[in-house]
Amino acid sequence: MEDTYRHKGMRRRLVEGLRKRGIRDEKVLEAIGTLPRHFFLDKAFEDHAYQDKAFPIGNDQTISQPYTVAYMTELLEVEKRHKTLEVGTGSGYQACILAQLGARVYSIERQKDLYDRAKTLLPSMGYPQIRLFYRDGYKGLPEYAPFDRIIVTAGAPYIPEALREQLAIGGIMVIPVGEYDQTMVRVRRIAENLFEEEPLGPFRFVPFVEGLNE
């Protein structure tokens, strides 16, 4: 895998485009400007890797468009050492962006092929610290809870109760909610039994499905 001057130039243009679209968090922009997105895509998409588009990664899943990754990450307000749960590893790109920001990342994937691919790819790229789990995302990771941050990268028909329970008091969860089209929702846990939900813009994600797919 090579990261050439050409790739770096395309990333700079991508970051400028994200800035123009309203992404303000310079740490998020720096992470996107640093991480080679083409490493996460099939060779056939390499020349298009830095377009602001989603691309297929197999198993009827996609790598989210960079704007969506940047927008969700900005909403998450990640700080160094934040214990962060990602539901939906997919290509592993979002997990690596979080790790670039200094988060301690725990990531769940229900598609065995994608999980196996990420288990090989992420350590080879210098991210052995990202902990990957082949699990049902609706159940979260109760044995590692609570989490300072939770990010869900698929469209959920509702906010799973298990994920609410695993959010630390003072923590933030970002999740797209809706059956067909989703509304991005930022959830803050104010107290043990008090949550604040902030509905934001419209998005469209692949569905958040229960269970495992071998």
**Residues that are catalytic:** 64
Give Cβ neighbours of residue 134 (< 8 Å, ≥ 6 apart). 108, 109, 110, 112, 115, 212
Token look-up 């990531």 returns: 107
Which own/partner contact pairs does 123-129 have at CB distance under 8 Å and 24+ positions apart? Answer: 124/1, 125/1, 125/36, 125/39, 125/96, 127/92, 127/95, 127/96, 127/99, 129/99, 129/104, 129/105
Integer Cα distance of 11 and 78 in angstroms: 22
Neighbours of 38 (CB within 10 A): 20
